[in-house]
A and B are shown apart, each in its own frame.
Chain A
Amino acid sequence: MSMIEVSNLTKDFRKTIKSPGLVGAFKSLIKPKYETFEAVKDLSFEVPKGEILGFIGANGAGKSTTIKMLTGILTPTSGYCRINDKIPQEDRQNYVKDIGVVFGQRTQLWWDLPLRETYSVLKEIYNVPDKDFYKRMDFLNEVLDLNDFITSPVRTLSLGQRMRADIAASLLHNPKVLFLDEPTIGLDVSVKDKIRHAIEQINQEEQTTIILTTHDLGDIELLCNRVFMIDHGQEVFDGTIKQLKNRFGHIREIEFELVNAEDANRLNFSQFGSAIEYSQNEKNVRVKFDSSKVSVPDVIRLTLSQVDVQDISVKDADIEDIVRRIFRKEAAEHD
């Protein structure tokens, strides 16, 4: 049976149309005009128990709006979601007992107090019995290394510590479903690693179902069995990360550092056609291409034959790139 069931979920926002200028501003103050903006359109999917679903999309694609409907914060315009056999909006207080939520950009910790205080209040809010609480804290300490800073006031924590503390706060009551909205945003590589590892461990120990939104392809590749991608509020992909890459091509990026910046004028990739593009910033030239059509060695070979190069680095493109790519591809298909 699936833990999460989403059916034809839709959310419209009403936006005030602002007419320009002073007169317009007064007009919209007195008699505002509205326009409907569809943030999420007709989404349907299911998530089985114990799965980690990567929920991805560009900025403004409707990720946060969807998460907020799933967590019961927003009411859908139409359609519904059923999670843990409950409709969030109908039985919100009961429903949220079994979920944990982390919004990477916000915190639910008590700002001026030592971190430990937050946990003792949350214990009361979620009615966690003493025995479970201590056991749970031990586990979370072990996974997230909270002991280093549990007596420090929250306002003095670093971003990485705060994020670990926030994740622990969302797990105190051992939720069946965990929503993580950008849990690694703005963190450095070693902290990201720690957090990914913790998420993995939590998922395995308790069979916690996790929905994870992120911009970081690394998060997805290490954690998610499945990826669900939306754009302009609509589903554009649902499958494994491997399928995603196969379907939309490996987008690779190579950065060359030239010996002389003016050499860039001599670069010519026209033999690869539209599968490749490049941009230049002084001595650095970034080349992006679809590795299913053009091979990495070919690009390097051609570049080296044209200009003198000091350094080369090869990267995977991020989610934003893939989304942009998909978009262009679809637009091309429509033409």
Chain B
Amino acid sequence: MRRVLHLEKIFISQYLKQTMEYKADFIVGVLGVLLNQILNLIFLQVIFSQVPKLAGWSLQQIVFIYGFALIPKGLDHLFFDNLWIVGQKLVRKGEFDKYLTRPINPLFHVLVETFQVDAFGELLVGVILLVMSSATVHWTLLKVILFVVSIPFATAIYTALKIGTSAAAFWMKKSNTITYLFYMFNDFAKYPVSIFNHLIRWIISFVIPFAFTAFYPASYFLTGKNVLFNLGGLVVISVVFLFISIKIWDKGISSYESAGS
């Protein structure tokens, strides 16, 4: 474990040095991500200027759900974004060879290689929103502990979906559009599931379970109800999905065909 953290540190500093080669571009990018989130909030504001409550939820509550959604999304984006590249080109161009000739776990190696600093845009806005709306939550010590615990599990759902879909590239050569299709379902997670129809509700709960990355856990903190489904479900789903996706990944590596040199 110490070695894992040590390598993570080495790779992060390495990545930051690389990013600094394009300093101006990077700063503008972070501003862009920040702005994007702020504009989305203005959108929410516009909606609530029309109605006091949305499907029974107040603006404050929606802001809490929205802010909660940004935390696991941002963490996954920050640490594990290199998975996109697997399905985009690493496998297709045979560049994945490199990871297989190094004495560390290839999945870990792929994961630690980037540190997507623009994710701080999402994380910052997420934290601000949670702080702004935290008055709507009746906080207890238990809730605080559960809140901290739920974050890594919610992040794992994002990462698991990215691992599983990018591993498809080991068979199909290119799979980033599949990852994209799955990933885009995260947009549904930012709002109460009750506004969606049954099919979509079912998909985002159990097939591409982004609802567990935001709405379900957030609704527990807001209402204090259904802890078993809202948080227990999160833990079970994230462990199951992570387990399955790592199995797919391992199976994929043994079917990896490289590419003619």
- Whether a CB of chain B sits under 8 angstroms from the CB of A253 is no
Tell whether A125 is near chain B: CB-to-CB under 8 Å. yes
Residues of B within 8 A of A117 (CB): 14, 17
A97 vs B101: C-alpha distance in the bound complex, in angstroms? 8
* Contact B103 A64, beta carbon cutoff 8 Å: no
Pairwise interchain contact A103-B6, C-beta atoms closer than 8 A: no
Chain B count of residues within 8 A CB distance of the other chain: 26
Q: Does B52 contact A (CB under 8 A)?
A: no
Complex Cα spacing A97 to B257, Å: 22
Q: Which of B66-119 contact A (CB under 8 A)?
A: 94-95, 97-98, 100-105
On whether the beta carbons of B102 and A103 are closer than 8 Å, the reply is: no
| B36: Cβ under 8 A from any A Cβ | no
Number of interface residues of A (CB under 8 A): 34
With A74-B256, A75-B254 known to touch, is A113 a contact of B100 (CB < 8 Å)? no
B14 touches A106 (CB 8 A): no
Cβ-based interface call for B258 (8 A): yes
Which A residues between 104 and 120 are near B, CB-CB below 8 angstroms? 104-106, 108, 110, 112-113, 117
**B260 in contact (CB, < 8 A):** yes
* Contact of A94 with B103 at beta-carbon distance under 8 Å, contacts A103-B97, A110-B14 already known: yes
Query: Is A245 on the interface with B (CB-CB < 8 A)?
Result: no
User: Is there an interface contact between A113 and B17, defined as CB atoms closer than 8 Å?
Assistant: yes
Nearest CB on A from B167, distance (A): 15
Q: Which residue of B lies closest to A13 (CB)?
A: B257
Return A303 CB to nearest CB of chain B, in Å: 40
Q: Which residues of B contact A99 (CB under 8 A)?
A: 101
The verdict on A93 contacting B14 (CB below 8 Å), with A106-B98, A181-B261 known, is: no
Q: Do residues A97 and B103 form an inter-chain contact, with CB atoms below 8 A?
A: yes
Partner of A73, one of B17, B103, B258: B258
- State whether B261 touches A105 (Cβ < 8 A): yes
Expressed in whole angstroms, the Cα–Cα distance for A62 and B109 within the complex equals 28
Q: Do B102 and A125 touch across chains, with their CB atoms under 8 A apart?
A: yes
Q: Complex: how many Å from CA A106 to CA B100?
A: 14
- Best-buried of B18, B94, B97 by chain A (most CB within 10 Å): B97
A121 to B104, CA, bound (A): 13
10 closest Cβ contacts across the A-B interface? A97-B103, A73-B100, A101-B101, A64-B261, A112-B18, A124-B10, A112-B21, A75-B254, A96-B103, A105-B261
Q: 26 A-B pairs, CB-CB below 8 angstroms?
A: A13-B257, A71-B100, A72-B100, A73-B97, A73-B100, A73-B101, A73-B256, A73-B258, A74-B257, A74-B258, A75-B256, A92-B100, A93-B103, A93-B104, A96-B102, A101-B101, A106-B95, A106-B98, A110-B18, A113-B14, A117-B17, A121-B11, A121-B14, A125-B7, A125-B102, A127-B3
List 4 extra interface pairs beyond A73-B100, A73-B258, CB under 8 A. A96-B103, A106-B94, A110-B18, A125-B104
